[in-house]
Structure 1
Amino acid sequence: MSANYYRRVGAARPSHLMYTAGVGALIDLPNFSVLVKGLESWSHSGLTDYVIDEPRLRTAVNRSLQLYGAAQINELRSAPWVEGADSSPKDAAAQAVGVPVTPFPQWLRCTACNLLAPIDAEAFTFVNNNPRTPHEAKFVHDCKRGKPLAVAARFTLVCITGHLDEFPYVPFVHHGNACSKAPRPLLRMKDHGGNQAANVTLECVACGEQRNIRDAMGERGRRNLPACRGRHPHLGTYEAGCAEEATLMVAGASNQWFPMTLSALALPPGKNADLAELVEERWAELQNVTSRVVFDAFAGTPVYAYLKEYDAEALIAAVQAHQDRLTGKKAEDTAGPVTPPDLLSPEWAVLSSSPVPDATDDFALEEVTVPDRLKDLFADVRQVQRLREARALIGFTRLDAPDPESPEIATPVRLSRTSQNWVPASEVRGEGIFLRVREELMAEWEERMRKSPAMQAHREAFARFRTNRKSDRLHGPFDPMRGWPGERYLALHSLSHLLIRTISLECGYSSASLGERIYAGDEDNPRTGILIYTAVPDSEGTLGGLVSLAEDPHFERIVRRALRDASRCSSDPLCAERLPHEPADYLHGAACHVCLFVSETTCERGNRFLDRRFLVPLGDETDQVLTPISLRP
């Protein structure tokens, strides 16, 4: 390693690498931007304790990726990190550990003379000579004005199938032709400002040819762009034959990268599955239980004591049956649409079980008496005194966000060129409150709402939303209502947001530090649960502050204030009267940033499927309100 060059160029939280900028995404550093490289480039060599053990999540990852047999994912790994990297920044071993990135876009512009050239041009020098300040890493231009900062040129090309490429500056300026004066000409990029659209002129230094970037924008501009080259820069590959149009995009745009993630709560073993599910979830540890001797040896250890709850011969038979399924799986059996893994059913079974399960190091549940004035609304209120949530990144999409209920909508991009036995993961520990709305109340309200004009407007907006998505044209005919979460989901989701916002305002929690899980079920297996929990790995989520709010009198006060606040919004009457009507395809009604929206990291559906008119009367149809009249403000 050179004495004036260090490998670290910044830092990121584990959650940032899962939800904001993981594999294949651009990360904006202070002086340039980088692209997170594929899994082949990641190294955990010399590290320990990087495997996250969560069998249920590991099984869901394999189901989602349709991996079987030897190709299965058998490890969930946290990001490579070594303690002491900050306190001993000159340690070569510490410098070598981290998430690998590469500069992207690889065209740089001098901030002094506007020179535009590729990163490997001799004009630019990389400066990273202070190991204690990796954020000061930068590129400089050796020009007549000293060594001014060189920044990344901000334009890229993206296609709907997930390809990402550099903007073709030289061919664009020369209208698809080569420069007549130089084989690799340098350019100048002049930003003229303005408030209507991008107004950037590109000029060839060699021949003087000029062109404005506006010629590449919009529907007409696409005709001036080359065909997609099928590039995946995080993998270093090109996929020949991509037939999709390339779209001009500014580096760092919010729709440049959408994560495909799965998350699961760690549940007490033996309480959340039948034998077949137990074997599938814990296959890595149970695959060797093929005889009574092995079963007795396993069951005699504290780690596998839960096996005593099962019949030995039945478990051995389930292990053998699962092994037969894996070895007999054929490639043609994996064809067809992917069925989303059901991670919520086992959680609902445990959270709503009676009596509550025994506490473990990762999970502890305690029942709380429902206040008398809330018994018409809630059947159960429970404190989740301990929980552990594991999260896995299994892919990503570009331009269109993935839909957990309809995975065929967007085209996923792989995290690696070759088959890997692991995926990136993270885990958080915290606490929460579980609420169960009365089933009879919800069923009666749901029956009324099926034919209501307001709910019909939501259903029609969802159909338009599905129809208007760019990715849908890749998959031919489809059911526009597939993925509709159902009427009760809107009510539970809206109530969850009301409570999160009230907890944040009244009790001092940051709304971004809270998460939600909605257990609405489906027509065959309806549910009425809401879990609000701390979702960040810091002290705010583990000191008992949230679970204490489930106790009397705090809980009743919070619920009543939430419903009272929902009855009015400073954006009314615009907010109260909002319903999506053709041609609008937004997926919320009476909801906005003032009354119902929360942080994107908090909401499991991106602030969609919300409408407070289903919880409190807003001056229109009062018969569409779910909450009992005694709770109305």
Structure 2
Amino acid sequence: MTTNHRRHVGSVRPSHLMFTSGVGALVDLPNFSVLVRGLDDWNYNEVRGRDDWKTITEPRLLTAVQGIFGKNVKELLPAPWLDGMEQDPRGPAARVGVPTTPFPTWLRCTACNELAPVDSQIFGFENDKPRRPQEARFFHKQCGVKKSGKPPLAITARFMLSCTAGHLDDFPYTDFVHNGTACSTAKQPRLHMDDRGGNRGVNVEIKCVNCSRRRNMGQAMGQRGEENLPRCRGRHPHLGTFEHQGCKCKPKVLVVGASNQWFAQNLSVLAVPRTEASELENKVEQQWNAVSTLPVAMYPYARENVPAFHELTSWTDAEIAEAVERVRARKEGESQQESEHDYPDLRTPEWEAFSAAQLPDRTEDFTLHRCGVPTELDGYYADVVQAERLREVRALIGFTRLDAPDPEDPGLVTRAPLARSMPPQWVPASEVRGEGVFLRVPEDLLREWENRVSGSQAMQHHRQAYAEFRKNRYSDRIPGDFDEMRHWPGVRYLALHTLSHLLIRTIALECGYSSANLSERIYAGTEDDPRSGILLYTAVPDAEGTLGGLVSQAEPDRLVRLTRRALADARRCSSDPLCAERLPQPPADFLHGAACHVCLFVSETTCERGNRFLDRRFVVPIDEHEDLALYREQP
């Protein structure tokens, strides 16, 4: 580590690695942008074995990941990180972090507009302030405009190419400005980029200094601009690889900071105990990697030296061995049922735990309390459960570009790899602890409502919009091998999802929680296995998630006030009548009806379906739509 080349160039929260800044994602730093490198380059040598760092244990999630990648995946690992960077910038913490590489690899001098690759000799790099990594920067060494003082800043040239197969590449500036031919006067021509700002390509012009040829970036944008682009080279810069056969997908121009350059593909579970398993079996499964590999003869030694066995002190060696065999048999049976092409079913165990007549025993990760339905809300809810303790674990299994993955259809969009050696031996994961409220809507009420609205014109509009939305995806498909209505979430999902958003927005007003710090899980089931649950819970890595403020909203008086306000506010929106009259109409493919930022939308990290499948008319009467409402009277 030299004086002006320190390792740290910025920081993000661990949760960002699951949602916005994970493997293959572009992170826009103050002075340049970097790409998070693949798992092969992540180094855990400095953190393994330390008391202040540990792997994430969640057997159900690990089994689900193995169902996708195979048994080669052994661990769920948090981001490599150590505390102490602020106290000692040259200490162990300075050597630990998520590896990145500058990307795009073309830079532009802010003084003279010189455009060149980052590895050319005209640019230098400085990062000489250990406590201020955000001030790391590239600079133009021999700028012809600014000849005195500090060398001028060189920033990332903001254009790049991407395709729906997950590839990402530098924009071919040299070929573009010369229309795919070589420069007539120089083998390695010098380029200038005249960037007049704004978000339009027509404001940017590329010029060859040697032959004076010019070309506007607007000629590379849009459908007509695609004709001027080369074929995709199949590049994965986060892995440092190219596809041997190239890529058949058409590349599209992206700019740094574009929201569609990276979409995370996650699996998420709540750490619920198995209702059919004993306490010992649940503990054995929780510590499976440490317990299952040891023979019974090693148990006495393990009780003294293996931390996982400290939680099994209440049972004999024989009882532990029998529990290990039962868990092993169950895992083998589950692995045979896993499909390589479909997501595993992660919601059923959670639904069974929340809706069980006898709630599961309390654990450190999962504690429930059934408080009953207030008399005033009889007929509105069938069950109210306080989740005093929750633990959510997420694993990153891949990412997509240009086209967001469908949470119910993993094969719809091509998933980009996380590592050169696929399948990997581990995947990134994060965990948060929080609390929540589980509400169950009466099944007979939902069935009657479904029968009433399934054939309505409004619901037909929503179905048609979903089919149009599926057809308009970026991703290429095999003709004749595409079901437009596949994974339609179902009629009751719209009602449950809308009710969930109404309650989230009201909770944010009633108890001071930011809606961005809340999350939802909708248990709507299928036609063969209908469900009717909503879980609203905190999912933040700080103290706000476990202070009891959300759980207290399930107390009878507060729940009555909360529900009354939510349903009353849903009847009117300040954007009415425009909002109340809205229905998906061709050629539009948006997936919401009477819903907008004023009345229903929440932050994208809060909603499990990106603010889709929402419509107030399916929950409360609005204008002439009274027959479509789930709740036709105010509680």
CA distance in 2, matches of 1:300, 1:270: 22
Q: Which amino acid aligns with 1:232?
A: H
CA distance in 2, matches of 1:586, 1:300: 53
Deviations 1:310-350 (A, max 9, x none): 99879737735855997xx8xxx99x861211111000111
CA distance in 2, matches of 1:552, 1:590: 30
CA distance in 1, matches of 2:116, 2:351: 56
1:252 matches 2:252:
no
- 1:451 pairs with 445, 450, 455, which one? 455
Point out where structure 2 has 5 or more consecutive residues left out of the alignment.
none
Secondary structure of the 1:524 match is coil
Q: Which amino acid aligns with 2:121?
A: E
Change (3 A) 1:194 1:158: closer
1:409–1:475 Cα contact (<8 Å) kept: no
Task: State the TM-score, normalizing by the size of structure 1.
Answer: 0.92
Equivalent residue number for residue 121 of structure 2: 122
Displacement of 1:473 in angstroms is 2.1
2:274–2:282 Cα contact (<8 Å) kept: no
Deviations 1:18-60 (A, max 9, x none): 1011000000000000000000110111213331000011111
Secondary structure of the 1:61 match is helix
1:109–1:116 Cα contact (<8 Å) kept: yes
Deviations 1:522-554 (A, max 9, x none): 111111111111111111111111101110211
Point out where structure 1 has 5 or more consecutive residues left out of the alignment.
none
Equivalent residue number for residue 403 of structure 1: 406
Task: State the TM-score, normalizing by the size of structure 2.
Answer: 0.91
Secondary structure of the 1:357 match is coil
Displacement of 1:501 in angstroms is 0.4
2:264–2:396 Cα contact (<8 Å) kept: yes
Equivalent residue number for residue 575 of structure 1: 579
Deviations 1:444-483 (A, max 9, x none): 1112121111111111110111111121525751111111
Secondary structure of the 2:15 match is helix
2:398–2:416 Cα contact (<8 Å) kept: yes
Equivalent residue number for residue 99 of structure 1: 98
Equivalent residue number for residue 36 of structure 1: 36
Equivalent residue number for residue 361 of structure 2: 358
1:372 matches 2:375:
yes
CA distance in 1, matches of 2:25, 2:432: 23
Equivalent residue number for residue 381 of structure 1: 384
CA distance in 2, matches of 1:399, 1:307: 55
Which range moves more in the overlay, 246-255 or 20-29?
A: 246-255
CA distance in 1, matches of 2:602, 2:551: 20
> How many residues are matched?
619
Equivalent residue number for residue 319 of structure 1: 328
Change (3 A) 1:152 1:610: same
2:465–2:586 Cα contact (<8 Å) kept: yes
**For 1:235-314, what aligned pairs fall within 5 Å after superposition?**
235-241=239-245, 242-269=247-274, 271=276, 284=289, 287-288=292-293, 302-303=311-312
Q: Which amino acid aligns with 1:54?
A: E
Q: Which amino acid aligns with 2:364?
A: D
CA distance in 1, matches of 2:316, 2:620: 48
2:292–2:324 Cα contact (<8 Å) kept: no
CA distance in 1, matches of 2:184, 2:316: 76
Secondary structure of the 1:150 match is strand
CA distance in 1, matches of 2:10, 2:195: 28
1:467 matches 2:476:
no
CA distance in 2, matches of 1:567, 1:292: 67
Equivalent residue number for residue 27 of structure 1: 27
Displacement of 1:353 in angstroms is 1.2
2:270–2:393 Cα contact (<8 Å) kept: yes
Secondary structure of the 1:503 match is helix
Deviations 1:392-433 (A, max 9, x none): 101000011001111111000010001421100100011111
1:50–1:80 Cα contact (<8 Å) kept: no
Which range moves more in the overlay, 167-176 or 615-624?
A: 615-624
Change (3 A) 1:386 1:323: closer
Change (3 A) 1:196 1:228: closer
Displacement of 1:194 in angstroms is 6.9
Equivalent residue number for residue 131 of structure 2: 132
2:4–2:125 Cα contact (<8 Å) kept: no
CA distance in 2, matches of 1:293, 1:112: 69
Displacement of 1:181 in angstroms is 2.1
Q: Which amino acid aligns with 2:185?
A: K
Q: Which amino acid aligns with 1:454?
A: A
Change (3 A) 1:263 1:303: farther
CA distance in 1, matches of 2:566, 2:330: 51
Q: Which amino acid aligns with 2:35?
A: L
Equivalent residue number for residue 588 of structure 2: 584
Change (3 A) 1:355 1:533: same
1:272–1:346 Cα contact (<8 Å) kept: no
CA distance in 1, matches of 2:315, 2:468: 49
1:290–1:316 Cα contact (<8 Å) kept: no
Change (3 A) 1:257 1:300: closer
CA distance in 2, matches of 1:455, 1:34: 45
Displacement of 1:187 in angstroms is 0.6
**For 1:422-441, what aligned pairs fall within 5 Å after superposition?**
422-441=426-445
Displacement of 1:591 in angstroms is 0.5
